[in-house]
Amino acid sequence: MTTDGGIRRTISDLVAQEHELRDRLSRGEADAHEERERLRAIEVELDQCWDLLRQRDAAREFGSDPDAATVRDPGTVEGYLD
């Protein structure tokens, strides 16, 4: 079972990783191509976490079980604005 607190901790960890990677890139301490790929992966994972929290909130609001919410695939969470 995933909890809201666990999801929020994952988000915090990912944001910290994102900031560190961006700092390393700005200082020229990292391979730009590899770090940009990792940044993109972090951004997708963050979007999945936020989506999962929104699903859980909606489930609660409408009387459903928030634990039934699942992580959606990257194509779904990244395609919302397309």
Confidence at residue 78, expressed as pLDDT on a 0 to 100 scale: 87
Tell me the whole-structure pTM to 2 decimals: 0.87
Q: How do residues 18-77 score in pLDDT, each as one tens digit?
A: 999 999 988 888 788 888 899 999 999 999 999 999 999 999 999 999 999 999 999 999
What's the pLDDT score for residue 31?
84
Distance, CA of 55 to CA of 60 (rounded, Å) = 9
Note the pLDDT of residue 1: 53
